[in-house]
């Protein structure tokens, strides 16, 4: 049949899907958010996608979310830490100075890391 053929797709099972049905499922436009090309926000800062105050309240209001955040923070940062030298022959004085610094902190560094990861997972700041 010339000029009046069917437009669509033939399936493996011998069926036929017409073009108007395919058009119902075709992606017309990307749903992806456009990235900020420049960082020209308020004083050079980009506005957060979600209000941080609402995110903090969500942590208090939803016990399941709070538990998930705390569990992930514990899994990521609460497994301990160790000083690993970046050079083959590390200076022992520098190691002792670092150990002395970490020992002098008011709060254990592991707890600080857990709090930072909790903040990152709940609000996104890692502060």
- DSSP 8-state secondary structure symbol assigned to residue 35: P
Q: Is residue 122 part of a domain?
A: yes
Can you tell me the mean pLDDT for 16-37? 74
Greater confidence (93 vs 21) lies with 93
Cα(12)–Cα(104) distance, rounded to whole angstroms? 71
44 CB-near residues (< 8 Å, 6+ apart): none
pLDDT over threshold 70, residue 68: yes
Structure token digits, residue 50:
């979600």
Q: Is residue 73 part of a domain?
A: yes
Bridge partners of 10?
Answer: 16
Can you tell me the mean pLDDT for 3-10? 71
- Domain span including residue 124: 54-77+94-127
Q: Is residue 112 part of a domain?
A: yes
Q: Which residue has the tokens 């979600």?
A: 50
Q: Is residue 117 part of a domain?
A: yes
Q: Is residue 25 part of a domain?
A: no
32-43 pLDDT, tens per residue? 666 655 555 556
Q: Are 73 and 124 in contact (CB under 8 A)?
A: no
Number of domains composing the chain:
1
Q: Is residue 124 part of a domain?
A: yes
Burial class (CB in 10 A: 0-12, 13-18, 19+), 118: buried
Q: What is the mean pLDDT of the chain?
A: 84
Q: How confident is the model at residue 111 (pLDDT cuts 50, 70, 90)?
A: very high
Q: What percent of the chain has pLDDT over 90?
A: 39
Q: Is residue 121 part of a domain?
A: yes
pLDDT over threshold 60, residue 4: no
Q: Is residue 88 part of a domain?
A: no
């Amino acid at each position: 049949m010339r000029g009046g053929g069917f437009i669509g797709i033939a399936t493996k099972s011998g069926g036929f899907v017409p073009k108007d049905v395919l058009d119902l499922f075709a992606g017309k436009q990307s749903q992806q958010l456009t990235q900020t090309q420049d960082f020209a926000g308020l004083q050079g800062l980009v506005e957060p996608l979600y209000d941080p105050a609402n995110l903090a309240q969500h942590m208090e209001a939803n016990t399941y979310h709070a538990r998930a955040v705390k569990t992930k923070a514990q899994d990521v940062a609460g497994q301990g830490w160790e000083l690993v030298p970046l050079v083959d022959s590390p200076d022992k004085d520098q190691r002792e100075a670092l150990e002395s610094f970490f020992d002098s902190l008011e709060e254990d560094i592991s707890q600080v890391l857990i709090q930072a990861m909790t903040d990152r997972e709940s609000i996104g700041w890692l502060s």
